[in-house]
Amino acid sequence: MKLRIRVPATTANLGPGFDCLGLALDWWNTIEIETIARGLQVECDCPDGVDIPLNRHNLVVYGIDAVYRLAKQKRPPLRIHLTTHIPIASGLGSSSAPIVGGLIAANVLLGNLYSRDELVTLATRIEGHPDNVAPALLGGLMVAAIDGKQVTVARFPVPRELRCVLFVPKVTLLTKKSRGVLPKRIPRADAIYNASRVALWIAALRERRWDWLEVATQDRLHQPYRAKLVPGMYELFNAAKDAGARGAALSGAGPTIIAFANHQGEPVARAMAQTARRIGLEGMTRVVGVSAKGAQVTRSD
Ligand code: HSE
């Protein structure tokens, strides 16, 4: 059996929705999987400088093994070919994408034993938080709430005109390090500040009230603490908004900066690139739409 799985990049948090809001982007990794006679072969078409394990420690294999363990079955011999476009350790779901790809592949190989909701719960257990894995699996804008072992996810429609403008710094930042600077406790006023803005985000998209995004993208739970790990964060937010973006945030745990526009994103991207050059930050800009679809699988026998 041969499978081809496409998994989108994702942006988590969207400012205030720390560990609970995420959006699928129209930017994809591809995983091809084939059953073979024996062994495990993992190959990767990766951008230069990207070094990922090509053995059972690969995140796709990790995802596959998690499903087989759950099903109490043994993984069959496989050849896995990865084509990786999503930048690594940049806050764009580069670890969720292979995990989700692996879960979906294993589920198809096992005859679809598990529902997508069950896969979201399993993916969340592996990744530690649901905000990248939920949109990677299901697409669109996702809200995820954890209750004990159960993850409840809700999907919201996103206006087609939403453009995400990314500045992806050349330097990477590991999620673990970026979570390490966060306080264990937060003031009640900050919890209220963020809870109100998460609700406002959802309302802004439903009502197409782009003018609400300036407030809806504000955050007090993580960005102020992470700013010291992300040089130029506030300068890039301001550059994007001055050029017409409706709001800006740190993408996931960073260091990518994401700005939201409801028109062509190119002027915003140019302004972000110009500001980055001025303050001596290396990186690239990219304008992407939102993907209403999550991971896609096609099968040939
Ligand atoms: N919500 C997570 C964080 C996303 O901000 O740490 C990490 O990918």
The whole-number pLDDT of residue 192 equals 98
126, 197: one domain: no
Any ligand 1 atom below 6 A from CB of 61: no
Distance from the CA of 109 to the center of ligand 1, in angstroms?
30
184, 208: one domain: yes
Low-confidence stretches of the chain (pLDDT beneath 70): none
Global pTM?
Answer: 0.95
Specify the 3-state DSSP secondary structure of 144: strand
Distance from the CA of 24 to the center of ligand 1, in angstroms?
14
The amino acid at residue 106 is A
Any ligand 1 atom below 6 A from CB of 127: no
Distance from the CA of 13 to the center of ligand 1, in angstroms?
7
The amino acid at residue 33 is I
128, 6: one domain: yes
167, 285: one domain: yes
152, 168: one domain: no
148, 295: one domain: yes
20, 95: one domain: yes
Any ligand 1 atom below 6 A from CB of 19: yes
d(CA 285, CA 274): 10
Rg, C-alpha atoms of the chain: 19
108, 205: one domain: no
183, 231: one domain: yes
Nearest to 78 by CA among 66, 65, 67: 65
The whole-number pLDDT of residue 51 equals 82
d(CA 266, CA 203): 26
131, 183: one domain: no
Distance from the CA of 110 to the center of ligand 1, in angstroms?
31
Any ligand 1 atom below 6 A from CB of 252: yes
136, 196: one domain: no
d(CA 25, CA 27): 6
Task: Report how many domains make up the chain.
Answer: 2
Q: Which residues contact 14 (CB under 8 A, 6 or more apart)?
A: 21, 22, 23, 201, 217, 249, 258
Asked whether the beta carbons of 197 and 16 are under 8 A apart, the reply is yes
Q: CATH no. for residue 274?
A: 3.30.70.890
- Domain holding 225, by residue range, is 163-289
> What are 186's two structure tokens?
């937060």
Distance from the CA of 254 to the center of ligand 1, in angstroms?
8
172, 268: one domain: yes
